[in-house]
Structures are given as structure tokens and as C-alpha cells.
Amino acid sequence: MKNFTFLFILLIAFSCASPSQSEKETTTVDSLRYENEIHLKNVRQLTWGGNNAEAYWSFDGKSLVFQSDFADWGVECDQIFTLEIDNVVEGEQPSMISTGLGRTTCAYFLPGDSLIVYGSTHLADSLCPPVPGRNTGKYVWPIYEGYDIFVANLDGEIVNQLTDEAGYDAEATVSPNGDRIIFTSTRSGDLELYTMNLDGSDVVQLTNELGYDGGAFFSPDGSKIVWRASRPQTEEEIEEYKGLLAQGLVQPTEMELYIANADGSDARKITSLGNANWAPFFTPEGDKILFSSNHASERGFPFNLFMVNLDGTELEQVTFDNTFDSFPMFSLDGKYLVWASNRNNGGNRDTNLFVAEWVD
């Protein structure tokens, strides 16, 4: 779940009075949905500028928390914002709840919806960390070792620090049961999944296989997890992976999806599609996975949303954008889907948030 602004840039490089919100919904819902998107209904746009992503629902389904680098909101790199889903007005800046220092990522509501958990580098440096160059000759994501996981209230006040290990700690999400947090860490020397209590205690390592394990989410009943992973196999792949990781980098172009029990047992691979398969989330019934993939793309794009059974069968395409759709999340009641998309951006580089009613 980390530093996807860079992925957006890669993808899109190829590519007075205002009406009331109800009027906008009436005039835009059809134009924001492609004809074949049969699982989406009444699509609404929620942001209008910058790179906005990883929007996740509050437990009561009334609010979203997300990250954005929109310069018009006074930020230089990703910071955390919240918005109320029924009070979105185009041109109005939502509330920022991160410190405005360093770089942030992967925010999630805690039970009760009064606290947010998110990753931030602000203790390591108050400035935005540098974006890696292309000197590797590969497309890479940075794994900033300054990331730690914090808890903040809706006023932006940090009330707890959950991790303080050396290295990268981020990508935190919360079980629908409200009892455990799952996150990614380099504390073992590799990028592995861990869980912990809401106060940061009882840290348990779930994965222990060479490769990037990240972007994990719990199933609706909290009994399972799904995540993305890379698994270098050849000596050359292993050497390349370890070399990049030593530089605080990871190459995300080859990833598949895995599921396991919430304690990490019975882990199994469910896709073998090739290219990048990531941003997975369980469907409301918990029997399928919705995810983003460019497996059918010859030049790295487009990314679209796909759905698959837990055993990897019955792959179905859900969105039909020509550039980028990713970061899907269902509201806890299963009625709504929020995701990030390059649709309706006028051909510029903006990635915005959209919400739709889910049609099963």
C-alpha cells in the first residue's frame, strides 16, 4: 500500500456559482460509469485534483480517510485527510489530520471512528523524503525506513505511537472485529506481515518467505487475510530483490495475491496472472476478492479492477477504465464501494476518489 503516487505518475505519463451536490449527482452518475461496469451504480466523484488514494471507510460508513498530495491543499507530498461522504463539495478542502510533516500513508479508522491509525516519516525528518530516481533502470517504490505507525484523533493530535523499531513500519489496516491491526515491517530484514493489538502490544509475525508481503486486509468476519506478494525465485531475481531492498527500494511490477487465516496459517497463492496484481479487498460476503491488475496489459497499463473466487477461479473484470482503477474498499455494510481512478480527469495527471453503490 505504499507510495502509490509513483505508480500513478508512471501510468498517466502515457495517458463562480456551481451546481448543488444533488444536481451534480443527477448529471454525472451515468457519465462516470463505463457501459460494462455492471457492478457499479450511481457513481459519484469525491475529489478533483492531485493524487488521492487509499480511501478507507469509517466503521459507521459515514466518512473516509485517505492520502493526497494535492498542492492546492498546501502539501508537498502525501498527507492524510478525512471527508464526510454526504458533505462533499467540489473545491472545498477536506480536513487534514496528519501533521503536515514528513510523508504519510495508509490511514485507517479505529473502532468508534474517533481515532485514525496511519504511517508517517515525520519523526525521521520534517521534510518530504526524496523520491528515488531511475538510476536502477527499473520502476521502483521507496520503502522509507523512517516510517512508523501512529494513532491520531480527528483534530490531528497524535495520541499514541504504535511502532518504534528500526526500519519500515507502515501499511496498517484494522480488522472489522476491531481487535487487531495488520501491517508490513522490515524488522526481520525482509518485508513481512505482522499483527498487533490496537495499542501496539502482542506483535506477531505472519509471513516468513523471501519477497515483498504487503497491502493486507482482513475478511469481513476477521477470520482471513488477503495481501499482495512478490516471490523472487531464480538466483538473479533473489539478488536483485535483496539489492534493491538494501537501498530501501522494491520493484512492484510482478506481484500475485495470497490469502491465509488471520493468524497466518494455511497461506496459499490465489492468482498466477503475471504482471502486477495488488490492492486486494474481500467482497461483502467474504467469498471473493476484488483487486487491481494490469495482467492483460502489454505496456504496464491500464490497471482495472477484477474479481476472483478465493480459490482463484472465475476471474471477472469489474472496471473498464483505459488508464487506472485501484484501491477498492467496501463499506462495512457492503452497500458502497470507494476506489481511486484516473477517469474523468480531463486527460491530466490527477487520480481522484469515486464512490458507487455496489450491485452484486
Residue 12's pLDDT is 34
What is the rounded CA–CA span in Å between residue 213 and residue 232? 12
Residue 71's pLDDT is 97
In this prediction the pTM is: 0.92
Termini Cα distance of the chain? 26
CB 330 within 8 A of CB 337: yes
Residue pLDDT, tens place only, 5-49? 444 443 333 333 333 344 344 335 578 999 999 999 999 999 999
Residue 303's pLDDT is 97
C-alpha cell at 187: 524488522
What is the rounded CA–CA span in Å between residue 189 and residue 85? 40
Enumerate the domain spans of the chain: 5-358
| Displacement of CA 327 from its chain's centroid (Å) | 5
What is the rounded CA–CA span in Å between residue 254 and residue 276? 5
Q: Where are the alpha helices (DSSP H) in the chain?
A: 5-12, 21-28, 235-246
Residue 135's pLDDT is 59
275 SS3 class: coil
Own/partner pairs for 295-302, CB < 8 Å, 24+ apart? 299/14, 300/10, 300/11, 300/14, 300/139, 300/253, 300/275, 301/10, 301/11, 301/14, 301/15, 302/11
C-alpha cell at 328: 477498492
Residue 138's pLDDT is 79
Q: Which of 179, 183, 187, 181 is nearest to 170 (CA)?
A: 183
CB 98 within 8 A of CB 79: yes
Fold topology of 5-358 = Neuraminidase (2.120.10)
- Looking up cell 472465475 gives 314
The string of DSSP letters for 210-256 reads: SS-EEEEEE-TTSSEEEEEE----SHHHHHHHHHHHHTTEE--SSBE
Rounded to 5 degrees, what angle do the CA atoms 114, 196, 110 make? 15
What is the rounded CA–CA span in Å between residue 186 and residue 211? 11
What is the rounded CA–CA span in Å between residue 115 and residue 34? 36
Residue pLDDT, tens place only, 246-293? 999 999 999 999 999 999 999 999 999 999 999 999 999 999 999 999
126 to each of 100, 118, 121, 151, how far by Cα in Å? Answer: 8, 16, 8, 18
**Ranges of the chain with pLDDT below 70:** 1-29, 134-137
Cβ atoms within 10 Å, residue 344: 15
Q: Is 150 exposed, middle or buried (0-12, 13-18, 19+ CB in 10 A)?
A: buried
CB 169 within 8 A of CB 147: yes
Q: In what order do the strands lie in the sheet with 40-45?
A: 40-45, 352-358, 336-341, 325-330
Residue 112's pLDDT is 98
